[in-house]
């Protein structure tokens, strides 16, 4: 690896085709960070197993997600893109680090309590150890910086504590205490204008849609509920169509809509058509690259295999150091 500012690691669950929320909240940052850091991006299939009941989806979701990331600009010649379970050392490190983790810390985490509330019928052991596995991800690859949203802040703080405990108890500084890089983007709402955009909510706008499909979903978007008729003035500040314009349209478009919506000079249909047009313009290069890459269904798997091979070189070294520090050799 070339020497840049340090190493970035981030992980995401295999959720299949990516949507505008993934793009604005994560993918854009992943792409940009490549200029300054050596980047390692991981599709965390083991983490996904803690909540998934449809295990057969993991493979297809992994391929679709990786394809979107590559089409969006991840450069596999420099960046390591791989699947978590393809580098089994992470499970070994997870087990070792678990011995340095007080159980009460894990069960106290708000993220764990949320899961208990969300899936009371499936409070599995993996769910409790989720942050330990995440700590193993980050430290196995000696990451300096971890770009995540605020919802992961408690996990990052936890990871730093485990690293400190490991160093203190073994007396050896072999791991790196990772820094969190807050890449928070204001929550992207779905087409319902209410809940966070997500596949499980079925309110997403996928990047890989065709222009026609994009127009169609954009037309279903919920706008200012106070604006019932074409002649009613609207309030762009409560309209999610306007919010998306702010990410994808020119400043001229944005000020025009802001002005005209308030005096009913522009209707919701016009406003949505313009959004679909701007989205389609913005996403055209992405879509061209995606269909180019998709012509060879093996391509994604070759990239992931090569990524795992390169990740293993780093992982094997770290595991050897950790075991030596822990007195296991």
**Of the listed pieces 5-13, 57-65, 213-221, 256-264, which binds ligand TRP according to CB under 6 A?**
5-13
Six-digit token string for 21: 């929320």
Site string for ligand TRP, 92-131 (x = CB under 6 A): ----------------------------------------
Q: Which of residues 146 and 217 has its CB atom nearest to ligand TRP in the complex? A: 146
Distance of CA 267 to the CA centre of its chain: 34
Check residue 9 for interaction with ligand TRP (CB under 6 A): yes
CB of 146 to ligand TRP, least distance (A): 5
Q: Which of residues 166 and 248 has its CB atom nearest to ligand TRP in the complex? A: 166
Selecting among 4, 105, 181, 196, the annotated active-site residue is: 196
Selecting among 199, 246, 277, 323, the annotated active-site residue is: 199
Task: Give the residue among 28, 22, 14 at the shortest CA–CA distance from 61.
Answer: 14
Does the annotation mark 194 as catalytic? no
Query: Apex CA 172: angle with CA 166 and CA 177, to 5°?
Result: 55
Does the annotation mark 115 as catalytic? yes
3-state helix vs strand vs coil in the chain, percent to 5: 60, 10, 30
**Gap between the terminal Cα atoms of the chain:** 28
Site for ligand TRP in 35-54 (CB under 6 A): 44, 47
CB of 111 to ligand TRP, least distance (A): 8
Q: Which of residues 152 and 223 has its CB atom nearest to ligand TRP in the complex? A: 152
Site string for ligand TRP, 125-164 (x = CB under 6 A): ---------x--xx-------x-x---x--x---------
Length of the chain, please? 329
Six-digit token string for 14: 């295999």
Q: What radius of gyration, in Å, describes the C-alpha atoms of the chain?
A: 22
Task: Report d(CA 254, CA 242) in Å as an integer.
Answer: 8
Question: Which is it for the CA torsion 145, 199, 241, 235, positive or negative?
Answer: negative
Q: 43 in helix, strand or coil? A: strand
Six-digit token string for 271: 């406003």
CB of 199 to ligand TRP, least distance (A): 14
Size of the site for ligand TRP (CB under 6 A): 14
Longest dimension (CA), the chain: 77
Task: Report d(CA 199, CA 167) in Å as an integer.
Answer: 40
Task: Give the residue among 81, 100, 243 at the shortest CA–CA distance from 160.
Answer: 100
Q: Among 8, 11, 38, 208, which residue interacts with ligand TRP (rule: CB under 6 A)?
A: 11
Residue of minimal Cβ distance to ligand TRP = 11
CB of 42 to ligand TRP, least distance (A): 7
**Where on the chain is the footprint of ligand TRP (CB under 6 A)?**
9-13, 44, 47, 134, 137-138, 146, 148, 152, 155
Q: Catalytic residues, which ones?
A: 115, 196, 199
């Amino acid at each position: 690896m070339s020497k840049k500012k340090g190493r970035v690691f981030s992980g995401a669950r295999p959720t299949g085709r990516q949507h505008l929320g993934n793009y604005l909240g994560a993918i854009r940052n992943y792409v940009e960070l490549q200029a300054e850091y050596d980047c390692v991006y991981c599709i965390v299939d083991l983490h996904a197993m803690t909540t998934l009941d449809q295990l057969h989806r993991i493979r297809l979701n992994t391929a679709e997600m990786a394809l979107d990331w590559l089409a969006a600009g991840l450069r596999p010649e420099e960046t390591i893109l791989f699947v978590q379970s393809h580098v089994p050392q992470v499970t070994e490190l997870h087990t070792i680090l678990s011995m340095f983790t007080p159980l009460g810390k894990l069960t106290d985490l708000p993220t764990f309590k949320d899961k208990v509330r969300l899936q009371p019928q499936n409070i599995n052991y993996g769910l409790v150890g989720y942050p330990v596995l995440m700590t193993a991800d980050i430290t196995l690859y000696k990451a300096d910086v971890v770009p995540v949203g605020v919802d992961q802040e408690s996990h990052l703080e936890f990871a730093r504590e485990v690293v400190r405990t490991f160093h203190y108890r073994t007396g050896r500084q072999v791991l790196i205490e990772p820094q969190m890089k807050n890449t928070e983007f204001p929550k992207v709402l779905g087409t319902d204008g209410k809940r966070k955009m997500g596949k499980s909510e079925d309110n997403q706008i996928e990047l890989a849609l065709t222009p026609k499909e994009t127009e169609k979903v954009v037309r279903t978007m919920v706008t200012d509920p106070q604006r019932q008729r074409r002649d009613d003035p609207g309030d762009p500040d409560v309209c999610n169509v306007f919010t998306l314009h702010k990410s994808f349209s020119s400043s001229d478009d944005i000020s025009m809509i802001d002005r005209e919506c308030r005096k009913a000079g522009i209707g919701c249909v016009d406003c949505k058509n313009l959004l679909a047009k701007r989205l389609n313009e913005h996403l055209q290069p992405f879509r061209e690259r995606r269909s180019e890459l998709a012509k060879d269904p093996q391509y994604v798997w070759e990239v992931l295999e090569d990524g795992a091979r390169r990740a293993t070189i780093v992982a094997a070294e770290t595991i050897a150091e950790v075991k030596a520090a822990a007195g296991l050799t």
